[in-house]
Amino acid sequence: MRRYNGRSQILVTGGAGFLGSHLCERLLGEGHEVLCVDNFFTGARRNIEHLLDHPRFDLMRHDVTVPLVVEVDEIYNLACPASPVHYQHNPVQTIKTSVHGAINVLGLAQRVNARVFQASTSEVYGDPDTHPQPESYWGRVNPVGPRSCYDEGKRCAETLFMDYHRQYGVDVRVARIFNTYGPRMHPNDGRVVSNFIVQALRGEDITIYGAGEQTRSFCYVDDLIEGFVRFMAQEGPLPGPINLGNPREFTILQLAEQVINLTNSSSRIVFKPLPQDDPKQRRPDIRLAEQHLGWEPQVQLHEGLMRTIAWFDEMLSAAH
């Protein structure tokens, strides 16, 4: 089929975001035509500026809550604010983006017979009482808390993807993304890696919520994008969900100490109260990805942090 041999026309919603811009770059590198759609709520033109003159790259300013009429072979649906600071800023729009956006991209995929990828999240597991989290775990989510606009929006999007798959035969791929970091992260998105690096580079106090004993697993962006591409290329009855993330677990305090060391910073660590519904543990069980995609992360935290720190250092220097 034309879709999976040689050049495909690929739509990336949220393509000017952190993950989306890296995905656009990867797909262009593989010879595909890429249509990047973004409303620039959290995405940034600077993330895709270097691609604007590429002959196989198009940019469309558009909100996925409004239906989109284009002809494409594949769709990656990455449109949604993904950090608590951003998704809690306008919670109604966040849940609309997840739910209406899913309906719109699925309707498009059904019409043009395109394979469609949903960027879901480890947040569907909530504050888990099962550790690590396998795809079979249904989660422990507060449906009315401050994070629920994102958590429940993404859970509903997964439901829609699976129902379009079962009811209409739409060819779907659902990936649950765990903490990812790397160049082009938003400097003010409130996530621990970007927070700690920016604070350390500026010599400011590094803020830890709680005692810093809560754990996270950090996947470098290049590894994650490799997982996306492998999942989309996979033939056969495997719609997902599949966990994509790094199973190596670190406490938040360990991360802060490593960032201070790598930046040679004079920053002090200060502790503040834990936010509501903040998960105590987050680590993926990636056996499905290993078995079906032959995928596992390759970039160690030390190496990934060095690359990310270098990017933030250059960006902060350019801003002055």
Which residues are the active-site residues?
Answer: 150
Query: Three-class SS of residue 269?
Result: strand
Can the peptide bond before residue 84 be classed as cis, meaning omega within 30 degrees of 0? no
Kindly report whether the peptide bond that precedes residue 128 is cis, defined as omega within 30 degrees of 0: no
**Helices 221-233 + 18-29 axis angle, to 10:** 60
Are 309 and 259 spatial neighbours (Cβ–Cβ below 8 Å)? yes
Amino acid at 189: D
* C-alpha separations of 173 from 199, 238, 242 in Å: 37, 7, 8
**Cβ 201 vs Cβ 312: under 8 Å:** yes
In the chain, which ranges are E strands? 9-13, 33-38, 57-61, 74-77, 115-121, 172-177, 180-181, 206-209, 215-217, 219-220, 242-244, 249-251, 269-272
Is the separation of the CB atoms in 187 and 308 below 8 Å?
A: no
Angle formed at CA 126 by CA 120 and CA 130, multiple of 5 degrees: 105
What is the rounded CA–CA span in Å between residue 37 and residue 59? 6
Phi, psi angles (nearest 5°) of residue 237? -80, 70
